[in-house]
């Protein structure tokens, strides 16, 4: 009995002494909130990668410039804590080495578990080798969440990360919050890095949100068209709205309808999209059907027309439906004829609902997609015309 008690005591004692030997104190970590990656253009006497060149053969592609942004707490007046951005950059011929070089220059451990945003410079996005390398590094890092925001910068990612937003001192968090707000405005395609990686794995094409910046402002709007892992152009904010409608990823919408001498603001609060295939011996025809209902948000004080008149409401909803139809048709034309890239999910529809046909056209889909006939049907119903107190 005494041996059992002694053994139990030793067991409890050993458990109480157990600790996480590889733990790192929170004060010894630098929490990276945003990363920007650009193509590096060395100055004439720049020696940033001279040391690396000694050990590796001449590279046939440019080096990358990785910029890491982290918040830094500073003691302010009156005992208050102020937060400012700390920006660090590293040049290397791989994303992995760029990060390792940053570790050698920091007295804290660089921690990516709280990363919010990844920005890719426009020039890097146009280089398929560099883009695939950066995305591969992100996908293979166990600490980086698949829910982080990813955007292509209209310009350089480094310059965008150096912007100090007026409303939020932490740039990485601010950009991430902008993406969350896109669910209300839908001016950019809503997708996190996980969804974009899935799209690229599926057919090497994707639509990535675009980020634009000025001296003290950052905005997310429009998108970068990725074809065969290479950025081939931009789409605007209205095309982004159309893309979200076609792919059935938009549930609410607010725009203006121009009718006669009226400018009528409206909101669509319930929107759904479906696809249907019509197949014949000569070509493939896809019918896109959009249905939605919403409200007239305003008109004029004491308008000449009765907004409760059924004929007036019918005229408005028909006009709104025509506006949306024209927007979708124009956007589909951009993807079919200007970029000739299927990011609209036509291939996924065939694969899922018409597997036999998909097996026939899969190998030639890039050539067939621009020839697919697309018909758009839009039905919008106005349920409310505004409230007056």
With 0-12 / 13-18 / 19 or more C-beta atoms within 10 angstroms meaning exposed / middle / buried, residue 187 is buried
> Quick one: tokens of 226?
């990725």
Compute how many other C-beta atoms are within 10 angstroms of the C-beta atom of residue 355: 10
Closest by alpha carbon to 318, among 269, 266, 382? 382
Taking CA atoms, 149 is separated from 65, 127, 145, 258, in Å, by 19, 21, 10, 35
Answer yes or no: is pLDDT of 28 > 90.
Answer: no
Q: Determine contact, residues 35/67, Cβ cutoff 8 Å.
A: yes
Name the pTM for this structure: 0.85
Over range 182-194, report the average pLDDT.
79
Kindly tell me if the per-residue pLDDT of 363 is higher than 50: yes
Helices (H) and strands (E) in the chain, counts: 13, 14
At 21, the pLDDT band (50, 70, 90 cuts) reads very low
Nearest to 159 by CA among 215, 203, 97: 215
| C-alpha to C-alpha distance for 304 and 225, rounded to whole angstroms | 46
Domains annotated on the chain, with CATH: 26-42+50-235 (no CATH), 243-384 (3.30.300.210)
Other Cβ atoms closer than 10 A to 211: 29
The per-residue pLDDT for range 238-258, each reduced to its tens digit, is 999 999 999 999 878 889 999
CA 303 to chain CA centroid, Å, is: 42
So what's the pLDDT on residue 258? 92
pLDDT on residue 100: 76
Per-residue pLDDT tens for 260-309? 888 889 999 889 999 999 877 678 999 999 999 999 888 777 677 777 78
Structure tokens at 219: 């905005």
Tens of pLDDT, residue by residue over 215-233, are: 889 999 999 999 999 999 9
Cβ neighbour number for residue 349 with a 10 Å cutoff: 16
């Amino acid at each position: 009995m005494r041996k059992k008690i002694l053994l139990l005591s030793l067991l409890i004692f050993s458990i109480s002494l157990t600790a996480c030997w590889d733990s790192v104190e929170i004060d010894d970590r630098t929490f990276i909130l945003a990363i920007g990656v650009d193509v590096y253009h060395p100055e004439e006497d720049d020696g940033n990668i001279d040391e690396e060149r000694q050990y590796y053969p001449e590279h046939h592609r440019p080096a990358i410039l990785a910029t890491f942004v982290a918040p830094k707490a500073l003691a302010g007046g009156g005992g208050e804590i102020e937060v400012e951005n700390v920006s660090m950059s590293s040049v290397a011929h791989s994303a992995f080495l760029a990060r390792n070089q940053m570790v050698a220059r920091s007295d804290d451990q660089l921690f990516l578990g709280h990363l919010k945003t990844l920005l890719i410079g426009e020039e890097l996005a146009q280089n398929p080798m560099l883009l695939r390398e950066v995305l591969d590094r992100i996908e293979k890092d166990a600490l980086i969440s698949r829910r982080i925001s990813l955007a292509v910068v209209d310009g350089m990612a480094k310059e965008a990360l150096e912007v100090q937003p007026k409303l939020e001192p932490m740039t990485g968090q601010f950009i991430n919050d902008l993406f969350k707000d896109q669910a209300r405005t839908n001016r950019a395609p809503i997708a996190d890095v996980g969804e974009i990686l899935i799209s690229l794995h599926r057919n090497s094409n994707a639509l990535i949100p675009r980020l634009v910046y000025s001296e003290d402002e950052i905005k997310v709007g429009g998108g970068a068209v990725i074809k065969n892992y290479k950025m081939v152009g931009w789409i605007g904010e209205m095309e982004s709205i159309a893309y979200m409608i076609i792919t059935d990823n938009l549930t609410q919408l607010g725009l203006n309808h121009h009718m006669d001498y009226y400018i009528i603001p409206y909101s669509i609060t319930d929107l759904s999209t479906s696809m249907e295939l019509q197949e014949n011996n000569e070509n493939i025809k896809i019918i896109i059907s959009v249905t939605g209902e919403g409200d007239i948000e305003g008109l004029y004080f004491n308008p000449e027309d009765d907004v409760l008149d059924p004929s007036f409401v019918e005229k408005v909803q028909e006009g709104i439906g025509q506006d949306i139809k024209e927007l979708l048709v124009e956007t589909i034309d951009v993807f079919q004829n200007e970029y000739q890239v299927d990011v609209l999910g036509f291939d996924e529809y065939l694969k899922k609902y018409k597997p036999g046909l998909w097996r026939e056209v899969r190998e030639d889909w890039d050539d067939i997609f621009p020839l697919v006939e697309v018909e758009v049907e839009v039905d919008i119903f106005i349920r409310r015309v505004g409230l007056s107190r």
